[in-house]
Every structure is written in structure tokens, then in C-alpha cells.
Amino acid sequence: MKRINVWSSPRNISTAFMYSFAQRKDTTVVDEPLYAHYLSKTDSEAGHPGTAEVLVAQQNDGEVVVRDVIFGEYPTAVALFKQMTHHLIHLDWTFMLRTENVMLIRNPREIIASYAKVIPNPAMPDIGVEKQHEVFDFLTKNNCLAAVVDARELLLNPRAVLTQLCGRLGLGFEENMLHWQAGPRVEDGVWAKYWYANVHRSTGFEPFVEKQVVLPAPLEALAERCQPFYDKLYEAALKA
């Protein structure tokens, strides 16, 4: 069985990416299985909407999640796990050596602008870009990184980038990956009502629109700290 971890930064197009793969008959998708683990192991829970619901809805022990969810049984030949890279705390990372791994990245200025609309004053650990850089180094060192996908490149030409990605994963591209029905999906985590409003209105990948992002001084400083990590990841990304 092929198991794919998609390691994303927050406020990316990760949910749309998950919906895309959910259109495949050979694939089961799982939404952020390590979220409750992360919340239970940090002091970040106070700022996350729906924390109590998440902690009740999911297994809080990350090692159990790895054993029973990531390496659990599924009715399809492929299981894709939408993951947030910053959820990788207090865990043995070697489980990633037994899965396919994809990095999903986005320009940190855009992440920060979007994240701050839901949780004010995000810090470096919230944005996840530095952690992505760390995970990227771990995966490349161990030769278990299938691809890096950049949000902008994917939106510029979804068919071209998904075709390349599927090739890297040993899968055939399917045209139905480009479209889905609007509205929630059964795979959505219980946090969807706080975060997924835009993607629930979508029926496919929205065309990329260049936006001018203006950040207040503290967040501008955070973006500048994030940029070198993103630049290295972008060099390795599939291009439209």
C-alpha cells in the first residue's frame, strides 16, 4: 500500500490539495491526524479555535496516531495524509522513512497575512516554514522526499504540476483531480468550520492572483526571517 504524507505550512492550499486527491478512486484522504497531538503537547491551544473539539475528536498520542492511522488499514491502494509540519513535535520522525513524502510550501508573507486574520500575532513556530526547512533536510538526507509543491506554481498550472507530482509518486494523473463539488467533505476535520470557508465555496483550484501583501512591522520582521527558508525550498519545487 502506498502511504503519502503531505507536509504543509498552515494557510496554504493544503485542503484543496486534499480534496483533489480525494477525487481519485484509488485514494483515501485523512485530514491532519496529528493536530490533537500537537495541541496536547504545546501551549498553543489557547489561540486555536475549537481546541476542545479537536482534542476530543482525535487521538492525542502521536505515536498511536502513527501506528493506527498512518500505518492503519484502508480500503484503497493509496492513503494520503494532509499534515501540518509544525505538528511534528515530540515524535520519532523515522516513520517518514516508510512513507512517500511531499512538501507543500507557500510564500511566507502570504501565509502570515492569512494566518493573522484568524490568530493574531503569529510566531515562527505557528508559520511552520522553519520546521519545513528542517523536515526537508531530514527527508532529502534520507532520500525519501518525492517532491516539493509550491502553492503559486500549482495554481498557475494545476494540470502540469499535478501530472509531475503523480509521476514522482508512481501514480497516473487523473483529470478529475482538477474539480470537486462545493461544500464540506466527510473527511474534513472538526476544525473545518473555523478554517475551511473559502475552500468549501470552491469547485477546483482557484487561478493564481498576485496580491500585494502589506504587513505591520512585527509581522514584516517575521516574514523576513522566514524568507531564506522558503527560498531554499522553492528552488526544489516543481515548476508550472
> Domain map of the chain by residue range?
2-235
Model pLDDT, residue 182:
96
Residue 80 in this model has a pLDDT that exceeds 90: yes
**pLDDT of res. 20:** 98
Cβ atoms of 37 and 65 closer than 8 Å: yes
- Determine the average pLDDT of the residues in 49-58: 91
Could you report the per-residue pLDDT of 119-144, keeping only the tens digit for each?
788 888 888 899 999 999 999 999 99
- The C-alpha atoms of residue 131 and residue 84 are separated, in whole angstroms, by 10
C-alpha cell at 153: 506554481
**Assigned CATH class of 2-235:** alpha beta
pLDDT at residue 46 above 60?
no
Report CA-CA distances (Å) from 99 to 27, 66, 93, 95, 170: 15, 11, 11, 7, 13
pLDDT at 213: 86
Q: Are 23 and 17 in contact (CB under 8 A)?
A: no
Average pLDDT, the chain: 93
89 or 119, which is more confident?
Answer: 89
Tens-digit pLDDT profile for residues 90-99: 999 999 999 9
For position 90, what pLDDT does the model report? 94
CA–CA separation, 143 and 145 (whole Å):
6
Q: Centre a 10 Å sphere on the Cβ of residue 194 and count the other Cβ atoms it contains.
A: 14
Mean pLDDT over residues 178-188, rounded? 96
State phi, psi for 83 to the nearest 5 degrees: -125, 150
Q: How confident is the model at residue 47 (pLDDT cuts 50, 70, 90)?
A: low
Q: What is the pTM of this model?
A: 0.94
Q: Which of 90, 126, 101 has the alpha carbon at shortest distance from 3?
A: 101
Local structure of 29: helix, strand or coil: strand
Q: What is the mean pLDDT of residues 25-53?
A: 86
How high is the pLDDT of residue 44?
A: 54
Please, are residues 105 and 150 in contact by the beta-carbon 8 Å criterion?
yes
Dist CA 199 CA 180 (whole Å)? 10
Q: Where does the pLDDT of residue 45 fall: very low under 50, low under 70, confident under 90, or very high at 90 and above?
A: very low
pLDDT at 126: 84
Residue 102, strand partner residues: 6, 147
In this prediction, residue 211 carries a pLDDT of: 80
Mean pLDDT computed over 141-150: 98
- Nearest in space to 181 (alpha carbons), one of 74, 1, 22: 22
Q: How many CB atoms lie within 10 A of CB 178?
A: 15
- Per residue in 152-167, pLDDT (tens digit) is 999 999 999 999 999 9
